[in-house]
Amino acid sequence: MPLTVVVTSNAPGRVRGFLTSCACEIGPGIYTAPRMSQNVRERVWEVLTDWCTGIPSCTVLMTYPDPRRPGGQQVETIGLPRTQVYDYGGVYLTRRKLPIRPQRPNICREESKQP
């Protein structure tokens, strides 16, 4: 039974209560369960999907070991996480969208040379 980690952001209060009933909250919105079975993990994910899907700004991420996946871990998400997870040649990478900044005009000034 592998270590399961769940990270939540802006989740309803009942999510916190539910997750603390089956995992240890080691930090705000971060839950770990060192011996969560696959059946329990699947049920937890079903409940989280039911409760959190469609709530604006609510995000949930779950990761656990899976030897069949890139990097040996599975990553599941609900909502729009601030980072996106990609499989890049068998390794998971994350990236964030950069904020759009207005472009400044490119102004070149010629300096006049005086004799």
List the domains of the chain with CATH numbers: 4-96 (3.30.70.240)
Predicted pLDDT at 71: 78
Predicted pLDDT at 75: 86
Residues 6-61 have pLDDT tens digits of 999 999 999 999 999 999 999 999 999 999 999 999 999 999 999 998 888 899 99
Distance CA(8)–CA(29), nearest Å, equals: 5
Which of 5, 15, 27, 10 minimizes the C-alpha distance to 82? 10
Predicted pLDDT at 92: 73
Q: What confidence category does residue 95 fall into, taking pLDDT thresholds of 50, 70 and 90?
A: confident
Predicted pLDDT at 81: 63
Better pLDDT: 73 or 4: 4
